[in-house]
Chains A and B, each alone.
Chain A
Amino acid sequence: MAKREELEMAPDAAEAWPDAIYDLLKQHGIRQVALVPDAGHSRLIRRCLADNEMRVVTLTTEEEGIAQLFGAWLGGQKGVLLMQSSGVGNCINMLSVAVAHRTPLPMIVTMRGEFGEFNPFQVPMGNATPAVLEAMGTLVQRADTPEDVAPTVEATLRLAFNTFRPTATLIGQRVIGAKTFGK
């Protein structure tokens, strides 16, 4: 991990739970990984980038990922959208695409704006994330300990592909660690 990240993150995100998510993505045959990067997802993103069977698509805005994964499902491929909680706000109207078409759409969201947040701008959307997702028809699960991450992500994948709808796991900031800016 880069020195700057070491200074600014507490604790660091190099835990085993990102590897457990990667293993679940493999088990469920995920082929397209759409994302706007988040520090909390950095280890998972590295794993996906190293996998030749996964197509990692970096987006300019998270709503692109909703559209992309609908297209992937049209063509018979499963995908997942990785983002931080602020990105959920960018997805709101595009979620209607998955709801109306009945598209499986699993999202894995790293939370900001809650446990130990330093940046005021992260709080409004972080606070609104579960309500916004649920208002748009998404089934939401939360993981607030590292041990909770794998079972909730598995539930999110199963619910999406078995019941044809948007689903989300929110990984609490207590799991990820707050960005401290060295303070």
Chain B
Amino acid sequence: MKLSVNIEIGLTHLLSRKRQTLVASLGVTVGIAMYIFMNSLTLGVNRYSDNAIFKNAPHLRVYKEDEMSKPISGGSSSGSASGGLPVIVNPKISNTSLNLVNPLKLLKDIQSQKGITAAAAYVTANLFYTNGKSQVNGVASGVNILEANAMFNIESTMIDGDLRSLVNTPNGILLGVGIVNKLNIKLNDNINVISSVGVVKLMKVVGIFKTSFAITDKTKSYVSLATAQQLLGQGPNYVTDIYVNVATPALAPSFVPLLQNLTGYTVEDWMVANETAVAGSKIRGIMLGGISWAILLVAAFGIYNILNMTITQKLNDIAILKATGFSGRDVIRIFVLEALIMGFIGTCLGVALSLVPTTALAHIYIGADIGYFPIRFEPSIALKGAIIGMIVTFCAGYIPARRAAKVDPLAIFRR
């Protein structure tokens, strides 16, 4: 009952100034719409650029780091200064192999961890692709192609052949489209492959893929694990990397210590491996976030202004309300309520309005592997925008409302 009379007064104030109410609400509408649009844009573009990273790189990579040889000091652990003979050292990479010990068990252990969606063993081999006199250097990834496909969706980049034939064809190879063009070959042709350790193998092209990264298309190939091991002159237990994907890419860094403890090898997450890209998304986020907050603040000032004006016009009314038994808190409630109603109308319209630019942009065709502009209406962002909008309007209403609550009716009546 008590509340309802406050609501009634607030509503009457708003309805008797429909235009002002609408203008203030529209300010919020534009603010919220821009906020949602900008943030959807940031999210869409970031998601696209992250996905581009994840086409080639896993969320986490387990590998053996090169070890540097330790300087030898003449018999003393505290160095040459302590009296031993000074020994000139020349630090070099000291490990003889990048092999992960017992990779199959490691792979199983990793796969059984909670939160990990996929893991695949990789053997990376540097090599030359040759066809007659033409030679192209590149990198072959020896993988279980089905596991790798689960991680990187290689299938979606295939333009010729079938990646499954890699399973059935022992000397099969999937080549990037750039290599195919340079070597002037086609599907089912044979090429020679020479590895960095001098092993030569005759391979059959069973598939051709095209990512949008020229450098990948010009160098990369997929072969079976066994082939890669043979190319490096190693046995069937030789694995150089384990690629790991987790459910939420953003949480990948938190898996680093876990996997490091589990495997004992170096673990690198994608954010470390792609610092520039991560920094890029951060900058985009800050920039667009800043702009959207600025717009939101302008909208809040609109509400603040209109309420301030209303209160100045209604000093008499406030004095009367206080004289007839409304407390300062009631007065605050009335004006905050007015702000919240304007904010609510504005927010609802704003969420609706934000659909316009997001859907319009989502229908713009960019081409390449992007396809349509990577933006869509994000309900979570709309919700966040709505909550922020309401908080901001609350503040914009509360400040002038407090002023109204402090109005001394006597000062008004004595005039």
Same complex origin of A and B: no
Q: Enumerate chain B interface residues (CB-CB to A < 8 A).
A: none
Q: Enumerate chain A interface residues (CB-CB to B < 8 A).
A: none
